[in-house]
Structure 1
Amino acid sequence: MNILVTGSTGTIGSLVVRGLAAQGATVHALTRNPDQASFPAGVIAVKGDMTDIPSMRAALKEVDTLFLLNAVVADEVTQAIGTLSLAREAGIRRIVYLSVLNSDVYTDVPHFTGKYTAERMIEQFDLPVTVLRPSYFMQNDAALKDGLLQGRYGMPIGNVGVAMVDVRDIAEIAVAALLRRARSATPLPREVIEITGPDVLTGDALATIWSGVLGKPVTPAGNDLDAWETVMAGFMPSWSAYDLRLMLARFHVDGMLGKSNAVELLTGLLGHPPRRYRDLAGELAKAWQAA
């Protein structure tokens, strides 16, 4: 049971690596810089890059299971389709792919429709893949620390609602799916799992939560996407800021909501209820105030 984890040093990938290692799996962690990476004991750091085909061929030869996570980058589709094709060539029949909730309907949002392109390949070739479709990550809001401490919730997520998910829940489900496939004597059928949080959150609701955990008034920043994009373009490439602006625009119209039985289904998969935003906010607030 040799499992290759891509995105191994990122938020979710690192949790997946640790979770698999704790379960006794042989983990190969793909990274551009093995000398700089820090992994649990026994994890094999593998030098590679999904845009470097020879390195991916070499990495995939050594494993029988793949966790495919590629970052939101301009060539995301090339990376995903290329890696899936190389996995087919290598005869890998046990794959978990990290997509995104609403990948099939947010057709005007580049990183959503890019992930759905990979899903279409998985479906067309009937690849033995678990497709994970998580909602917006709760932990993204940790980047709002400075504004929150000044009394402002700065993400313009709109008023329809987003069922944000804790990345720890995503990682737990990914680890379970990988081990289930890796331990199966035969390849398991293709499946799609949607992963959402238990609460539908709006800007106003989030400001109220933060007011409670910080012990002071926090107000929502509103929903001015022009202003938000202008600010964000100062911190990231303009294509990325616009991509995220398009996502937020869809939040304003459609939200990002789970199915009516999502909590029940996810509780069954996790063995515990999905984590709640209020609890994460409390964890972050305590850490910030202690610092």
Structure 2
Amino acid sequence: MTILVTGATGNVGGAIIRELAERGASVRAMTRNPGSARLPEGVEVVAGDFGDPNSLVAAFAGAKALHLINYDANAGAHMKNPEAVVALAKAAGIERVTSFRGEEPGALERALQQSGLAWTDFFIPVEFMTNALQWAQSVAAEGVVRAFGPARSAMIHEADIGTSIANALTAVGHAGKSYTLTGPEALTPQDKVDALGETTGKAIRLIELSEAEARAKWRALGTPEPFIEFLVDWHVNTPESAYQVLPAVEQLTGCLPRTFRQWAFERAAAFRS
């Protein structure tokens, strides 16, 4: 069974692909720029763009399972033409679909719900642990983390996302269900800094940014303006769902979700060099 993963070079898509590839599954990865994709050996890489439904026909052909994401962070916009995308998936003979979102259900989720496909909804309202890599340069060079706001987040390891969604793509019993994925603990920026200090052996200081400084930082990183607005609102008015700890990862994988200290230990070299 060929499993098509869209958003292949993103944090979620990449984690799903790595998990499926380790299991020996037949994986096809869709991206706008196949030539620049760095994916595990044996993964079939194809071109596709949701803004051009015609480009999806070849990517979807022969696949039986499909992973979709409803928001393109690079473009700062939701998926274009979700109804057309779902119709193409049905026409191609795709039977099982998972989708990932970080907000309330939208047009893609409505289209999938009405499609008759075996669909599993994944809601991830928390930060990804890999986001902490944005601090690597300042920690290595200055022993400093610059962060905006005191928001708590039950942040999640990207590998736990990959394993959870891979299980729904490859096993029966998940159709019609919605899973909210979180990590095992709600952490403040200071909690994260403390964990990084312990795992790297470095003395690290937290500097809190003002809203204006945070906006400037995100713009310098090339973050689209709509996504900057989302980030500011999330940090200022953090929703309860962002710091709730829920059992979905353990239910889906049979294992406790990984802690931020585990993630920091795995990535410690990035914060030292």
TM-score tier (shorter): 0.7 to 0.9
Contact 2:62 2:93 in 1 (8 A): no
Q: Deviations over 1:196-242 (max 9, x none)?
A: 11111012222322333343443333262232112322221333323
Secondary structure of 1:19 counterpart: helix
Aligned to 2:162: 171
TM-score (ref. length: structure 1): 0.80
Say if 1:2 and 1:164 are closer, same or farther in 2 by CA, change over 3 A: same
The structure with the largest strand share of the pair is 2
Q: CA deviation at 1:273?
A: 1.4
Is 1:275 matched up with 2:258? Answer: yes
Aligned to 2:184: 198
Trace 1:145-156 onto structure 2 (pairs within 5 A): 145-149=136-140, 150-156=142-148
Is 1:132 matched up with 2:115? Answer: no
Secondary structure of 2:147 counterpart: coil
Secondary structure of 2:160 counterpart: helix
Is 1:224 matched up with 2:215? Answer: no
* RMSD, matched Cα: 2.6
Secondary structure of 2:236 counterpart: helix
The answer for unaligned runs of 5 or more in structure 2 is none
> Which residue identity lines up with residue 148 of structure 2 in the other structure?
P
Say if 1:148 and 1:232 are closer, same or farther in 2 by CA, change over 3 A: same
Contact 2:15 2:161 in 1 (8 A): no
Contact 1:99 1:116 in 2 (8 A): no
> Which residue identity lines up with residue 21 of structure 1 in the other structure?
A
Moved more, 197-206 or 170-179: 197-206
TM-score (ref. length: structure 2): 0.85
Moved more, 72-81 or 241-250: 72-81
Aligned to 1:107: none
The answer for unaligned runs of 5 or more in structure 1 is 105-114
Trace 1:1-291 onto structure 2 (pairs within 5 A): 1-69=1-69, 71-72=72-73, 73-78=75-80, 80-100=82-102, 103-104=103-104, 116-125=106-115, 127-134=117-124, 135-149=126-140, 150-159=142-151, 161-181=152-172, 189-222=175-208, 224-236=210-222, 237-251=224-238, 254=240, 256-259=242-245, 262-263=246-247, 265-289=248-272, 291=273
